[in-house]
């Protein structure tokens, strides 16, 4: 198919490389270097979508990031992505795209009936219409709106692409590679500063690519290319295209999204699709340029109405005509540049200039070239439905209030220029309070808040010479401060045409008897009349007007609509624009893909995984693992066809009958050294620690200052001034921070050092009546008898040549020991235990059996120490010293903590001795009581008691101490269960604790 709107020559595209692509199922051709938009326009396609609310036909309005219309669904390498701007998406071989927001097709769209039936949806429509009846919202309104609206569909498949995050530091970050970006980057780089220059487009140069200027006897484009190639050679400079700095955060942290592979048919091997850069910059130079403003007139959303700068860019960069019979509608000289560019390519444009009698070099040039110009003329309305076919135009009075006779002239596009709006988003995000600049009717950055400076058009400077001068100076000055170098750069000779003053005109009045829709926000279909309604209904704050009308709330974030909206509000309110103020700019400047934000933290990489040194042994022996924080722990070791329940029962039984071994490496371990260590422990734990002898362990409970139990564990006195503390797996990090807090801030006078040794020791718990026999085999040279190594005793020993520590402590309630060796010997220890334990029928046991053993013994763990319970609740009050003060003690006399019917831990057994009790269930007195049924307590942990061979649970129950023997009901609405139960002691097995001392 012929590209009917492609010029014979010109543009920066690669005409040697023809690319085929599909749009809405039809095949077209374009060239390498095209965007999807330029390739479609080259093929004469101007209808690409439907508007959000009225489903009016949508074409192209811009040529880049400001595009409000041309949003497509993209298909690339068997993946699909919504919300892609055709004006930004580079063409690649095989690209496929589809229109969004239209059904069944872009040419015949059912939603557009809204438009023809004139049921225009006024401001606040969604709020007003769909409020009642309330039940209709979920069933009828929302599904309907969602089907009719929508800006594409997100893929539900796993995204196989890779996204990366990168952290970077630099002296100067420069956003935008137009004249100001290039000049400041060059000056700073020459001074040796570390510079990052970021350009969101594929090509560097910004406005230099489309403007008719001369710098140092080169065209703007050539000058830009020479600067870029020089910067590329410098080791202190990073030059990035396709990279949008979209967010400016605290302390000069900026985030940039680099589209590494989006322009290719397929991501290259080992390459990411996108890369997110977190950049901490000493100085930021914002050279983001400006965006052309539309002028508001009737039907100004018709395809074919577009920014004059976009029309020029399609011509100069892509060699594409947006029309062959163009009308240029302008209030300043920029429209003339576009018209002259058309004329150069053999097209005869007509210029309508709102100004009475403007004079400048550019206007003279247009006149000399024989371009037809009508002064004091405006476009009243565009005509044509799916594409502009003509324009109603009229003369306008000098006060811009009265229209003359309306004439109709033929045209196939209307190129609009309503002057320029500086792109101040980043500056505003940095906290810079922007100010209104009267001369350009727009906001510019005010006083810097962070280390940022805005240059060139983004700062409202619209002449090239001034832009280059201020940018060279800024680059030089800022880099000099950082590097102390002072390389002077000679300022190049600049040739540009001088412009005349623009006309402060932005909205064409309606002719008598006509009610054309005049749009402000093109993506969200917000018209002049909507703002008028909102103001009539009493909305005043611009933030409220925005939300009520949805002005500037679409995915383009109002890049082309904001200022005209503000002008309208200020006109109606009789205020000046700065008094109305603008809405807050928030990151991101453009939509960022979720993949880029997430980066590599997906699947297995979403969190670190910690494994014990014995992990591979567990794997080889059919362990089924469970997450314990970031640790992976064996939950049970599967034998044959066993399930979790059967395996854990077998393992727990074997501990009670013979001997079991459990990997307890994950327990938090803290090494405590120093002459005041005992004093620290005495203050941290609720019980007494000053008299613990060397070679003895003690169980301790620590509280938070509010009296709630924080953690428990055993601490062993290794030598005179050396202790080994253990914490629960979950609280290991918190306990260390807690100790550091008190040692560094509260009691710095204590001479103690603490350090985590969790990963330095591998641990194995050997538990069961035969554990001593096994220990004798493991440590034949030690006396491990009840006298030699009594309960809570500690020994340093040697395990066949490997240094080992033996603690006689027990979590299972059986006679038990914990053996620690250095981590790299963990596997050796484990295999020795298994090997020598064979004759005692040793079996490894996992966390499920471990839980069973501790639950039936009534030992508390994380599910009881849940951040809501105090020592009393968990029957640990016996460990509270009356003689000394400790962290949290003063809180314990709080009224609720001392009340007579305070909750307490109890045991729960189902009356039928069969039904398992779901954890988290509530305990109630009467199962049939009306709701809300008063909750007396909750089930904290459940197991199948291997000792009694029936279900057993622990519960935290109100007035627990007086409830033993009571019959209650367990209710789990979630599992739809009601179970009659009896309350028993929490110590269901060996209540006197004789086994651990045996």
Q: Which residues bind another protein (CB under 8 A)?
A: 249-253, 278, 280, 431, 449, 683, 705-706, 737, 740-741, 744-746, 748, 884-886, 890-891
Please say which residue, 250 or 787, places its beta carbon nearer to another protein. 250
Residue 985 Cβ vs another protein, minimum distance, rounded to whole Å: 33
Please say which residue, 671 or 959, places its beta carbon nearer to another protein. 671
User: Among 962, 972, 998, which residue's Cα sits nearest to residue 985?
Assistant: 962
Residue 898 Cβ vs another protein, minimum distance, rounded to whole Å: 13
Q: Which residue has the tokens 């279900």?
A: 951
Residue 657 Cβ vs another protein, minimum distance, rounded to whole Å: 45
Contact (CB, 8 A) for 237 and 195: yes
Please say which residue, 405 or 893, places its beta carbon nearer to another protein. 893
Distance, in Å, from the CA atom of 67 to the CA atom of 413, rounded to the nearest integer, reads 17
Please say which residue, 431 or 991, places its beta carbon nearer to another protein. 431
Please say which residue, 77 or 756, places its beta carbon nearer to another protein. 756
Contact (CB, 8 A) for 241 and 204: yes
Residue 459 Cβ vs another protein, minimum distance, rounded to whole Å: 23
Residue 680 Cβ vs another protein, minimum distance, rounded to whole Å: 12
Residue 878 Cβ vs another protein, minimum distance, rounded to whole Å: 22
Please say which residue, 230 or 705, places its beta carbon nearer to another protein. 705
Please say which residue, 166 or 536, places its beta carbon nearer to another protein. 166
Distance, in Å, from the CA atom of 86 to the CA atom of 65, rounded to the nearest integer, reads 10
Distance, in Å, from the CA atom of 891 to the CA atom of 111, rounded to the nearest integer, reads 65
Please say which residue, 142 or 706, places its beta carbon nearer to another protein. 706
Specify the DSSP element, H or E, that contains 562: helix 562-573
Please say which residue, 142 or 885, places its beta carbon nearer to another protein. 885
Residue 734 Cβ vs another protein, minimum distance, rounded to whole Å: 10
Contact (CB, 8 A) for 967 and 982: yes
Cis peptide before 9 (omega within 30 of 0): no
| CA dihedral (746, 747, 751, 754) positive or negative | negative
Please say which residue, 739 or 996, places its beta carbon nearer to another protein. 739
3-state SS class at 386? coil
Burial 319-350, CB ≥16 within 10 A → b, else e: bbbbbbbbbbbbbbbbbbbbbbbbbeeebebb
Please say which residue, 201 or 683, places its beta carbon nearer to another protein. 683
What phi and psi, each to the nearest 5 degrees, are found at residue 227? -65, -45
Q: Which long-range contacts (CB under 8 A, 24 or more apart) does 12-21 make?
A: 12/203, 12/209, 12/221, 12/316, 12/317, 12/318, 13/38, 13/317, 13/318, 13/319, 19/91, 19/92, 19/93, 19/95, 20/93, 20/94, 21/91, 21/92, 21/93, 21/94, 21/95, 21/96, 21/97
Residue 246 Cβ vs another protein, minimum distance, rounded to whole Å: 15
DSSP state of 493: P
Dihedral (Cα; 493, 499, 501, 503), 10-degree rounding: -140
Please say which residue, 252 or 916, places its beta carbon nearer to another protein. 252
Residue 252 Cβ vs another protein, minimum distance, rounded to whole Å: 7
Residue 615 Cβ vs another protein, minimum distance, rounded to whole Å: 24
Contact (CB, 8 A) for 196 and 171: no
Residue 251 Cβ vs another protein, minimum distance, rounded to whole Å: 4
Residue 688 Cβ vs another protein, minimum distance, rounded to whole Å: 14
* Assigned token pair, 757: 């040794």
Residue 415 Cβ vs another protein, minimum distance, rounded to whole Å: 43
Return the ∠ at Cα 475 (arms to 470 and 477), rounded to 5°: 90
Q: Which long-range contacts (CB under 8 A, 24 or more apart) does 144-147 make?
A: 147/103
Burial 158-180, CB ≥16 within 10 A → b, else e: ebebbbbbeeeebbbbbbbbbbb
* Assigned token pair, 302: 């018709």
Contact (CB, 8 A) for 319 and 7: yes
Residue 744 Cβ vs another protein, minimum distance, rounded to whole Å: 5
Please say which residue, 706 or 994, places its beta carbon nearer to another protein. 706
Please say which residue, 499 or 682, places its beta carbon nearer to another protein. 682
């Amino acid at each position: 198919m012929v590209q009917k709107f492609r010029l014979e020559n010109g543009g920066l595209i690669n005409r040697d490389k023809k690319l085929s692509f599909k749009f809405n199922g039809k095949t077209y051709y374009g060239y390498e270097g095209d965007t999807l938009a330029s390739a479609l326009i080259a093929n004469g396609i101007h209808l690409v979508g439907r508007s959000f609310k009225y489903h009016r036909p949508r074409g192209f309005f811009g040529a880049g990031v400001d595009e409000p219309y041309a949003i497509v669904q993209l298909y690339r390498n068997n993946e699909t992505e919504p919300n892609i701007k055709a004006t930004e998406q580079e063409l690649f071989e095989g690209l496929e795209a589809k229109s969004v927001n239209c059904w069944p097709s872009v040419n015949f769209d059912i939603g557009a009936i809204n438009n023809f039936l004139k049921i225009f949806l006024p401001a606040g429509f969604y709020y007003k219409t769909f409020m009642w009846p309330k039940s209709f919202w979920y069933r009828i309104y929302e599904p309907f709106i969602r089907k009719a609206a929508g800006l594409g569909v997100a893929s539900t498949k796993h995204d196989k692409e890779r996204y990366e995050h990168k952290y970077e530091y630099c002296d100067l970050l420069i956003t935008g590679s137009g004249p100001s970006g290039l000049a400041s980057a060059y000056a700073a780089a020459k001074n040796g500063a570390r510079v990052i220059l970021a350009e969101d487009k594929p090509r560097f140069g910004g406005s230099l690519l489309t403007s008719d200027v001369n710098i140092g006897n080169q065209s703007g484009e050539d000058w830009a290319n020479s600067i870029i190639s020089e910067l590329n050679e410098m080791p202190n400079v990073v030059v990035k295209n396709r990279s949008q700095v979209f967010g400016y955060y605290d302390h000069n942290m900026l985030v940039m999204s680099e589209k590494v592979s989006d322009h290719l048919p397929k991501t290259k091997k080992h390459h990411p699709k996108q890369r997110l850069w977190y950049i901490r910059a000493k100085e930021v130079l914002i050279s983001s340029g400006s965006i052309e403003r539309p002028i508001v007139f009737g039907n100004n959303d018709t395809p074919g109405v577009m920014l004059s700068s976009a029309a020029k860019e399609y011509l100069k960069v892509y060699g594409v005509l947006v029309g062959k019979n163009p009308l240029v509608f302008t209030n300043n000289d920029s429209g003339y540049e576009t018209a002259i560019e058309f004329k150069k390519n053999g097209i005869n444009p007509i210029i309508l200039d709102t100004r009475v009698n403007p004079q400048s070099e550019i206007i003279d040039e247009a006149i000399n070239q024989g371009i037809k110009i009508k002064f004091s003329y405006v476009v009243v309305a565009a005509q044509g439905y799916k594409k502009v076919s003509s324009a109603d135009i009229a003369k306008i009075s000098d006060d811009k209030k009265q229209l003359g006779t309306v004439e109709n002239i033929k045209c196939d596009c209307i190129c609009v220029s309503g002057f320029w709006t500086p792109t101040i988003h980043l500056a505003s995000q940095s906290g810079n309070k922007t100010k209104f600049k009267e001369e350009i009717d727009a906001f510019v950055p005010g006083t810097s808040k962070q280390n940022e400076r805005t240059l060139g058009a983004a700062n409202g400077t619209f002449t090239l010479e001034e832009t280059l001068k201020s940018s060279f100076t800024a680059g030089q000055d800022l880099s000099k401060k950082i590097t102390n170098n002072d390389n002077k750069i000679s300022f190049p000779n600049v040739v540009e045409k001088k412009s005349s003053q623009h006309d402060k005109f932005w909205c064409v009045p309606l002719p008598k008897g006509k009610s054309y829709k005049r749009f402000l926000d093109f993506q969200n279909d917000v018209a002049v009349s909507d703002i008028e309604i909102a103001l009539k209904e009493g909305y005043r704050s611009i933030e409220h007007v925005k939300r009520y009308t949805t002005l500037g709330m679409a995915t383009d974030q109002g890049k082309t609509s904001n200022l005209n909206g503000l002008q309208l509000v200020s006109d109606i309110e009789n205020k000046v624009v700065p008094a109305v103020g603008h809405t807050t700019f928030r990151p991101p400047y453009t939509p960022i893909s979720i993949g880029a934000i997430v980066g590599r933290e997906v699947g297995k990489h979403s969190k670190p995984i910690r494994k014990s040194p014995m992990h591979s042994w567990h794997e080889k022996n059919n362990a089924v693992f469970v997450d314990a924080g970031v640790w992976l722990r064996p939950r049970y070791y599967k034998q044959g066809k066993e399930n979790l329940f059967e395996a854990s029962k077998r393992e727990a039984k074997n501990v009670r009958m013979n001997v079991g071994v459990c990997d307890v490496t994950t327990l938090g371990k803290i090494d405590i050294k120093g002459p005041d260590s005992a004093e620290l422990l005495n203050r941290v734990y609720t019980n007494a620690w000053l008299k613990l002898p060397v070679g003895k362990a003690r169980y301790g409970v620590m509280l938070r200052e509010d009296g709630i139990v924080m953690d428990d564990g055993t601490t062993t006195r290794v030598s005179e001034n050396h202790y080994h503390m253990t914490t629960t797996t979950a609280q290991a990090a918190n306990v260390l921070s807690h100790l550091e807090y008190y040692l560094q801030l509260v009691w710095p006078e204590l001479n103690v050092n603490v350090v985590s040794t969790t990963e330095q020791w591998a641990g194995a718990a050997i538990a069961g009546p035969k554990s001593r026999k096994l220990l004798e085999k493991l440590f034949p040279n030690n006396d491990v008898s009840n006298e030699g190594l009594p309960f809570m005793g500690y020994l340093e020993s040697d395990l066949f040549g490997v240094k080992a520590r033996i603690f006689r402590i027990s979590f299972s309630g059986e006679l038990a020991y914990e053996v620690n060796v250095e981590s790299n010997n963990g596997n050796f220890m484990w295999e020795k235990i298994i090997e020598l334990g064979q004759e005692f029928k040793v079996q490894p046991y996992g966390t499920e059996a471990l839980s069973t053993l501790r639950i039936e013994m009534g030992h508390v763990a994380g599910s009881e120490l849940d951040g809501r319970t105090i020592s009393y609740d968990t029957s640990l009050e016996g460990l509270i010293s009356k003689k000394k003060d400790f962290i949290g003690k003063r809180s314990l006399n709080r009224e609720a903590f001392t009340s007579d019917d305070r909750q307490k831990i109890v045991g729960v057994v189902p009356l039928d001795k069969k039904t398992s009790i779901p954890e988290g269930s509530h305990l109630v007195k009467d199962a049939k009581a009306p709701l809300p049924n008063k909750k007396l307590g909750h089930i904290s942990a459940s197991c199948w008691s291997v000792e009694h061979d029936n279900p057993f649970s622990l519960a935290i129950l109100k007035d627990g101490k007086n409830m033993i023997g009571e019959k209650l009901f367990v209710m789990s609405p979630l599992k739809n269960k009601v179970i009659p139960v009896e309350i028993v002691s929490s110590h269901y097995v060996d209540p006197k604790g004789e086994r651990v001392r045996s």
